[in-house]
């Protein structure tokens, strides 16, 4: 049973666990569990996706209960009216507050995006962040005797694929547990010391 955070006659909001796809995808053909089908079966009603979370990301996932509401929410996402906030643990000490304005090239899948234009210009991508906590762990990673980390609140203005993960990598503060854009040495340390098997990124707040 998925955790339902909110439900009324228009929408249902769940807390998506890490490792769960939002919907069926050719990118992961072997996966058999999807948030859309699980929610539909759980509440006994068809649901409509209005946004997505990466498979390894956990947290707030909103679904509409009618095509009309889905269209209205999709319009709000497109017009950047909806505000989202994420929580992440990243490598190193970040600044107290900062904005990352760094265009991102569209990430294309070799299998599903064969016919897509391959040489598109990078798209606008903006992320704001605030540091909530900083600390040190007494474990050597690489040439340093200890390891520093920051807990940050991330507020994306745009919604590019893997935007938060790619932006944090761009400023040399990759998210812990990110096997695609992260730091393998730090990921290995967290696996060995804390049995961490997930990406430390969660969607914690959404307003619309």
State the virtual CA torsion across 197, 170, 103, 18 in degrees, nearest 10.
10
| Closest of 91, 17, 89 to residue 57, by C-alpha | 17
Say how far apart CA 57 and CA 65 lie, in whole Å.
23
| Closest of 159, 183, 177, 175 to residue 84, by C-alpha | 159
Structure tokens at 15: 């807390």
Rounded to the nearest angstrom, the gap between the alpha carbon of residue 152 and the centroid of all alpha carbons in its chain is 14
Report the catalytic residues.
54
Is 104 exposed, middle or buried, given 0-12, 13-18 or 19+ CB atoms closer than 10 A?
middle
């Amino acid at each position: 049973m998925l955790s339902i955070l909110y439900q009324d006659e228009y929408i249902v909001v769940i807390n998506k666990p890490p490792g769960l796809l939002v919907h069926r995808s050719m990118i992961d053909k072997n996966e058999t569990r999807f948030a859309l089908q699980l929610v539909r079966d759980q509440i006994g009603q068809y649901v409509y996706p209005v946004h997505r979370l990466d498979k390894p990301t956990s947290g707030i996932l909103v679904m509409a209960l009618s095509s009309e509401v889905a269209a209205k929410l999709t319009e709000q996402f497109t017009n950047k009216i909806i505000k989202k906030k994420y929580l992440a643990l990243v490598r190193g000490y970040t600044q107290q507050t900062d904005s990352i304005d760094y265009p991102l090239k569209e990430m294309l899948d070799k299998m599903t995006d064969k016919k897509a234009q391959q040489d598109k210009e990078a798209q606008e991508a903006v992320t704001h962040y605030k540091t909530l906590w900083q600390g040190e762990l007494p474990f050597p990673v690489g040439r340093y005797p200890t390891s520093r980390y920051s807990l940050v609140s991330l507020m994306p203005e745009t919604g590019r694929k893997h935007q938060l993960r790619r932006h944090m990598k761009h400023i040399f503060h990759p998210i812990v547990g990110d096997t695609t854009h992260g730091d393998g040495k730090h990921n290995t340390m967290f696996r060995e010391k804390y049995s961490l098997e997930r990406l430390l990124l969660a969607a914690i707040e959404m307003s619309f």
